Structure 1
Amino acid sequence: MLGPWKCLHREVLADYKVFRIWREQVQPPRATKPYDFYLLEAIDWVNVIPVTPEGQIVFVRQYRYGTKEVSLEIPGGAVDPEDPSPLEAARRELREETGYAPEHLRYLGAVAPNPAILTNRCHVFLAENVRLVGAQQLDGAEEIEVVLLEVGEIPERIMRGEITHALVLAALYLYMLGQQGLAQPSR
């Protein structure tokens, strides 16, 4: 039977600004002995699909130190402790990274970035009728270029390897399902 595993012992191995590393000794139901699992406890994230009144999608191009590459993505980031909700985090991230603000934000769903080792969710929002309302509000470590793409360009950009961020691909998939009338938001 599938279900929760019993945690026998839990300890923090490291605590950093963006995540905490846990070692948990667990007893799976069918196992004859306990196993150690290592988890990254991270705060939730948001991704925003900003659509202009003309139907273009606002993307951002930025250098990602982890892959040492420039990445073409949609706006997104962490749900900060000061954010009252993921929706407000999405609004903030969109404004900071692009200078755009939405007429309306709609929740499309959430994905588990890597449920084997990560504890968080990435919430996806559709920002409708976005308009440029000011300059970007970047922090010292951000260098972001704003790029407007037609919806029809996105599949080709994905297939050419220009859009590779897994959470961005998941967000775009949720958006495309909704556009085709194949799915409704999960909440």
Structure 2
Amino acid sequence: MSAGPPPGAPSGPGLGPDDVRDRPERWKVVEESTAFTGHVFNVRRDRVEMPAGPGGGTEVVGRDVIEHLGSVGVLALDDRDRVLMLRQYRHPVERLLWETPAGLRDVAGEPLHVLAQRELLEEAGYRAARWDTLADVFPSSGMSNERCRIFLARDVAPVPAEEIDFERVHEEADMPAVWVPLDEAVRKVLAGDVHNMIACVGILAVHAARAAGYRDLRPVDAPED
């Protein structure tokens, strides 16, 4: 059995570890139409010019794109290194999922960290004195253009219920909250007990960030590439 390439060896023509950074790119779209228009997302149907294969040339293929408002997530960590998690019903997957506070980018021009602060307050009833950018992800890049920024919130404190001007309805009407030790939360992700993308990425990212002394975190208002 082959031992594989040595550590650090390029895995593509002229490429190495230093090249691993996502960058903007747009292949030629020869036709575009709208297949569905909804409240949170639309579905766009593109015909895209793509490589035909090893023989060279190009061919035009169809791709459906979910145009999404975008979202933010909040990984709230208390002074005992516990993660705030909420349970919410998610109809598309027919499950009660343990998640972290999150919300849609549905207010035009609202800074992302302000949205994150609002979601932490409205969904969980907490404020945080310290905020950092934890991770930026495309949750389902094969079908959607949704962008999600996950923030790390620390120095958290509860807010009295009478100070929260928000009514929870539908899926948010009953969301129990639990503070989970970070190491235990990591084990739950790796065991398959937690499935929500924002929760999984946030938990693993903050675990790595803590191991590095939180030195590499970006500021709360870091630009999105």
User: What is the TM-score when the length of structure 1 is the normalising length?
Assistant: 0.90
1:174 corresponds to which residue? 205
1:10-61 Cα deviation digits (max 9, x unpaired): 1111110010000011112555321111000001111101112333221111
CA 183–122 in structure 1, closer or farther in 2 if over 3 Å, else same: farther
Q: Structure 1: how far apart are the matches of 2:81 and 2:208? A: 16
Q: Structure 1: how far apart are the matches of 2:210 and 2:94? A: 33
Q: In the alignment, is the contact (CA less than 8 A) between 1:44 and 1:120 conserved in 2?
A: yes
1:21 corresponds to which residue? 43
CA drift at 1:101: 0.5
After superposition, where does 1:1-187 map in structure 2 within 5 Å?
3-30=25-52, 31-82=57-108, 84-135=110-161, 137-141=166-170, 142=172, 143-181=174-212, 184-185=216-217, 187=222
1:103-143 Cα deviation digits (max 9, x unpaired): 12111120111111111211010001111012364431112
Q: In the alignment, is the contact (CA less than 8 A) between 2:51 and 2:59 conserved in 1?
A: no
CA drift at 1:102: 0.5
**Structure 1, 153-162 or 44-53: larger mean CA deviation:** 153-162
Report sequence identity in percent.
Answer: 22
Per residue, is there more strand in 1 or in 2?
Answer: 1
Q: In the alignment, is the contact (CA less than 8 A) between 1:108 and 1:126 conserved in 2?
A: yes
Structure 1, unaligned stretches of length 5 or more? none
Tell me which amino acid in the other structure corresponds to 1:63: Y
CA-atom RMSD in angstroms? 2.3
Q: In the alignment, is the contact (CA less than 8 A) between 2:182 and 2:207 conserved in 1?
A: no
Kindly tell me the number of residue pairs found equivalent between the two proteins: 187
User: What is the TM-score when the length of structure 2 is the normalising length?
Assistant: 0.75
**Structure 1, 99-108 or 76-85: larger mean CA deviation:** 76-85
Q: Structure 2: how far apart are the matches of 1:94 and 1:62? A: 15
Q: Structure 2: how far apart are the matches of 1:92 and 1:149? A: 22
1:70-100 Cα deviation digits (max 9, x unpaired): 1111111212224611111111111111000
Tell me which amino acid in the other structure corresponds to 1:5: W
Structure 2, unaligned stretches of length 5 or more? 1-12, 14-22
Q: Structure 1: how far apart are the matches of 2:146 and 2:38? A: 15
